[in-house]
Structure 1
Amino acid sequence: MGGKKGRTDRVLILRICRKGVALRYLDGKRLQKAVNAGWHWLNQNREGLNAINVFPVADGDTGSNMSQTLRSAALGANSAKSNSLADVADSIAIYSLRGAQGNSGVILSQYFKGVAEYIGNRKRLYVEDIAGTFAAGADSAYRSVKEPREGTILTVLREIAEHAEEIKGKRKSISQMIESAIERGKQTLANTKHKLKALSDADVVDAGGLGFVHFMEGIHYLIKKGEFEKDESLESFEQNLPERIEKYTRYRYCSEFLVKGWDYDVDAIRRNLENSGDSLIVAGTAFGQDSYLRIHIHTDHPDDVEALARSIGVLEKRKVEDMMAQNEAMRSWRARYRQTVPKTIRIVTDSTCDLPPEIAAFHDIEIVPLKVAFGSETYRDGVDLDSYSFYEKLSDQSNALPKTSQPSPSEFKERYAEMLERGDCHQILSLHLSSMLSGTINSATSGAKGQKVVCFDSGTVSLGLGLMAIAASEMAREGKSLKDIIACLEERKKDQGLYFTLGTLEYLIKGGRVGKARGYLGRLLGLKPILALQNGEVLPVARVRSQEAALEKIISYLPGDGYGYRWAVGHTKCPQQIELITEILRERFGAIDVLAGEIGPTVGTHIGPGALGIFFMKG
């Protein structure tokens, strides 16, 4: 939503029913608007959900995962081939599975699958049908999980369904049914902390269950008020940030795989994986010619699970996250942000920041993706194409060399308009990669015209841009004015840097982002270059004969008074030295939090595999 499209969506939502008129049925159009409203309400509460996410692992991403899944569901509702109830429900089920994120997201997608199967060829859902939809959704969600745990979102889904069956025939409108379901959901939530030790220890309710209640609250608010917008008078289930964070899985990697065109027995796949880890969910959805299977598992051997996924169909998406690193990051950041004030300024950046999704979500940073094209196939950086898939394609000699393109002014305009219309901020600060490397900031500036948006040239790229976006978000949280934030960032631009080396010169030279380094690089004859990014431009610094020598040389260039700096380490498909570099930064430069990660598709297009860099910024 945003710009003209956003205003159209608001008019549609406004007309779901006249204010004060009892809603007695749902058809395809009304279901579409209901899912959009539910997503928006949950999205406004996603940071609170992230904060109380402690089970099965405290990685602080349940709110972001559920928001992404519901965003996909809403996109499915809006993209259905017709406005019939069946087509809208089927499209919601397919899109939500394709876009599902995390444990809670996959469970939610299977809830929608059950609802779609219950709807079948119905043209309308009447009051007496609501209990059946709740029951079908809950049953489908339970069946997708290998070992259902009570005290989670599953318990909330089941008890809401049981309550709906109890009151069927006693409520005269859909609004009354949903209102009663929300109240039962809150009662169930209050008891979840007594069902799971992780929740009891942290003194919080289940984040996934609370997310579903938020989803229902959004739908109820839409029906009751006739228009969806943020309303502080709508009661929401408040939770405090947990004092303790523990991990409740013995496995390291949260792994997800989306397979297209599968034709295997789901139970057989589940049995094949049951000894490979925990939190196993195998979920399949097939409507018409579309069939997708999503595997979610916490495991120590994601490559083995991936091999299985590839053997049963076309692997469309892959995500592997290090939960140990996420858990440690959440400990640090939660402690730092325990005392915050509401933000009136939101931070936007572009996908060249290479921030891991969970870090961007925690800091409430909005990311607009650039695009990467392999021949005629175009992907949105970080949305349709993750780093792993990108480097796989890059290594395939049959693929054309990729090309990158910036978002259009209209894409920025729509994103800004959507954020401002939601009412959760009054101003936007949009930070982008160096104007010496890309015209992205020009596009953002054009899209910002006429809106309360200020665009800022970071003078850097990749995780350097990520560090600056995090710093801006921190200042916004502290209540600083937009003028003060920009003044601080201008100072930090003067004392930031990047030193990096490359595994190959091919991509940097062909990409044309080398500036004064072009002639220098052409004379290297097998030597490894040390390059720097200064004032937004790539400059040659030195040349060495080995990767070890390159790392030593880079470290020698880092600011000697490294205390008081922020640090990040980025790589392109060469993570072997990340742990060593992080330890060096902590021991020799006093680094506390080191942001580490793989450099994404847009920047990776221009530097290729084997690159390693250290980013720093004062303050």
Structure 2
Amino acid sequence: MDVINLSELSLMLKTAATRVIYNKRKIDKINVFPVADQDTGSNLTKTLASFKQALGQNAVSTDSLLTKALEAGLASSQGNSGLLIISYLGGLLESLKNKSEIGYFDFSNAFHSATSAAVKSVENPLEGTMLDVMEAFSQSFSADVPGNKQLNRPFERALAATRESLVKTESKMKILLDNNVVDAGALGFTFFIFGFSEKITKVTLDLSTLDVSPVKILPDLKNLENPYEVIFILENPTLTQDELRDILHPYGDSLDIVELENKAKIHIHTDNPEAVEATAQVLGEVGSIETFDMRIKNPNHV
């Protein structure tokens, strides 16, 4: 196989989402960073389930359908992992827009754009996270022999590099090393990209040599420095990502900003949610806003 069409791309995206959704509990149970609230798999699932549902059962896919799916995923996205995966998808699909056939160089450019978009959405990119495996996949895919037209080999090489990068996340952050786990977000993306590649490689993710046992001892969430998570959407924002980041930075950490079409979605952990909510109202037209106390298990916070 040397090219795919939009309908095949849609099928690949649905398979990617399905693999994450199916493995939600495995991802949740090893989640200790940035907050050990065991919801990384759930946040990815909420985001990707809406994205997948919007793609529907149509045999024929179009750019407009993919855009609608992206908007649905953005509206449902939650947590650092949810915003990261939707920013990745935004960069990927923007790069592939208006292409009836997608080949090696199209994919190479798209994976680079997707990774760049994900990195740009994070205020403080760290090693040992989902960004590592995104970068590993993109770099390995693009390193294939020039002139190659077949897709299976670069995908297979990139998957091997992704799995290797996933294993290495454990050694890059003390909290992961202390708990003897890989990063939950990185595991979630690995399920995603293996699922995405299945149609071409026929390879599924082998976890037999990875320690994905549930974390036995979790940190005490009662002592979180920034215990509230605020997530809101701005309609038709007039400020850039950097301008929004400068304004919101003083209020907390884990600040993520995703821009898609005419919307911006912002996620932040804070100790002063009232101030963030008030600031959101003066930044533009607020489409939706939610605040969660991460010290409390909220049934509405999937």
TM-score (norm 1): 0.45
Determine if the alignment matches structure 1 residue 320 to structure 2 residue 291. yes
Determine if the alignment matches structure 1 residue 252 to structure 2 residue 230. no
Say which SS state the counterpart of residue 250 (structure 2) adopts: coil
What is the aligned counterpart of 2:7 among 24, 29, 49? Answer: 29
Cα distance in 2, alignment partners of residues 50 and 42 from structure 1: 11
Alignment of 1:560-579 (within 5 A): none
1:473-525, Cα deviation, whole Å (9 max, x unpaired): xxxxxxxxxxxxxxxxxxxxxxxxxxxxxxxxxxxxxxxxxxxxxxxxxxxxx
Say which SS state the counterpart of residue 167 (structure 1) adopts: coil
Determine if the alignment matches structure 1 residue 218 to structure 2 residue 162. no
| Distance change in 2, residues 1:99/1:175 (3 Å) | farther
Alignment of 1:539-618 (within 5 A): none
| Distance change in 2, residues 1:92/1:179 (3 Å) | farther
Determine if the alignment matches structure 1 residue 284 to structure 2 residue 255. no
Determine if the alignment matches structure 1 residue 173 to structure 2 residue 150. yes
Which residue of structure 2 lines up, in the alignment, with residue 304 of structure 1? 275
Deviation at 1:223, TM superposition (A): 4.0
- Maintained 8 Å contact 2:231/2:266: yes
1:373-424, Cα deviation, whole Å (9 max, x unpaired): xxxxxxxxxxxxxxxxxxxxxxxxxxxxxxxxxxxxxxxxxxxxxxxxxxxx
Deviation at 1:136, TM superposition (A): 0.6
1:331-386, Cα deviation, whole Å (9 max, x unpaired): xxxxxxxxxxxxxxxxxxxxxxx93444xxxxxxxxxxxxxxxxxxxxxxxxxxxx
Q: Which amino acid in 1 is paired with 2:243?
A: A
Determine if the alignment matches structure 1 residue 67 to structure 2 residue 42. no
1:51-91, Cα deviation, whole Å (9 max, x unpaired): 000000011110011111111222343399x833x334433
Determine if the alignment matches structure 1 residue 41 to structure 2 residue 19. yes
Determine if the alignment matches structure 1 residue 271 to structure 2 residue 249. no
Which residue of structure 2 lines up, in the alignment, with residue 537 of structure 1? none
Alignment of 1:131-530 (within 5 A): 131-169=108-146, 172-224=149-201, 235-236=206-207, 239-246=212-219, 250-286=225-261, 291-326=262-297, 355-358=299-302
- Maintained 8 Å contact 1:32/1:78: no
Deviation at 1:156, TM superposition (A): 1.1
- Maintained 8 Å contact 1:72/1:95: yes
Deviation at 1:201, TM superposition (A): 1.1
Cα distance in 1, alignment partners of residues 70 and 299 from structure 2: 29
- Maintained 8 Å contact 2:155/2:201: no
Q: Which amino acid in 1 is paired with 2:233?
A: L
- Maintained 8 Å contact 1:110/1:144: yes
Q: Which amino acid in 2 is paired with 1:188?
A: S
Cα distance in 1, alignment partners of residues 175 and 14 from structure 2: 32
Find the structure with the greater CA-based Rg: 1
Deviation at 1:135, TM superposition (A): 0.8
Q: Which runs of 4+ in 1 moved over 6 A?
A: none
- Maintained 8 Å contact 1:131/1:168: no
Query: Which has the higher relative contact order, 1 or 2, with Cα contacts under 8 A spaced 6 or more apart?
Result: 2
Say which SS state the counterpart of residue 324 (structure 1) adopts: coil
| Distance change in 2, residues 1:130/1:238 (3 Å) | farther
Cα distance in 2, alignment partners of residues 98 and 124 from structure 1: 29
Deviation at 1:267, TM superposition (A): 1.2
Deviation at 1:193, TM superposition (A): 1.1
Cα distance in 2, alignment partners of residues 115 and 51 from structure 1: 29
Bigger strand share: 1
Q: Which amino acid in 2 is paired with 1:254?
A: E
- Maintained 8 Å contact 1:201/1:244: no
- Maintained 8 Å contact 1:249/1:278: no
Say which SS state the counterpart of residue 294 (structure 1) adopts: strand
Deviation at 1:132, TM superposition (A): 1.3
Deviation at 1:167, TM superposition (A): 1.6
Cα distance in 1, alignment partners of residues 299 and 73 from structure 2: 24
Give percent identity, aligned residues only. 28
Cα distance in 2, alignment partners of residues 78 and 260 from structure 1: 25
Cα distance in 2, alignment partners of residues 52 and 74 from structure 1: 25
1:267-292, Cα deviation, whole Å (9 max, x unpaired): 11110011110000111111xxxx21
Deviation at 1:249, TM superposition (A): 5.4
| Distance change in 2, residues 1:60/1:280 (3 Å) | same
User: Structure 1 stretches of 5 or more lacking a match?
Assistant: 1-22, 226-230, 327-353, 359-619
- Maintained 8 Å contact 2:292/2:301: no
What is the aligned counterpart of 1:50 among 11, 25, 28? Answer: 28
Cα distance in 2, alignment partners of residues 301 and 281 from structure 1: 17
What is the aligned counterpart of 2:55 among 73, 77, 87? Answer: 77
Cα distance in 2, alignment partners of residues 152 and 241 from structure 1: 18
Deviation at 1:24, TM superposition (A): 2.1
Bigger helix share: 2
Cα distance in 2, alignment partners of residues 267 and 103 from structure 1: 18
Cα distance in 2, alignment partners of residues 178 and 70 from structure 1: 22
1:216-236, Cα deviation, whole Å (9 max, x unpaired): 2222334455xxxxx9x8623
RMSD: 2.4
Instruction: Say which is worse superposed, 122-131 or 244-253, in terms of deviation.
Output: 244-253
Deviation at 1:145, TM superposition (A): 0.8
Instruction: Say which is worse superposed, 34-43 or 253-262, in terms of deviation.
Output: 253-262
- Maintained 8 Å contact 1:111/1:140: yes
- Maintained 8 Å contact 1:92/1:112: no
- Maintained 8 Å contact 2:234/2:265: yes
| Distance change in 2, residues 1:95/1:193 (3 Å) | same
| Distance change in 2, residues 1:261/1:302 (3 Å) | same
Deviation at 1:320, TM superposition (A): 1.7
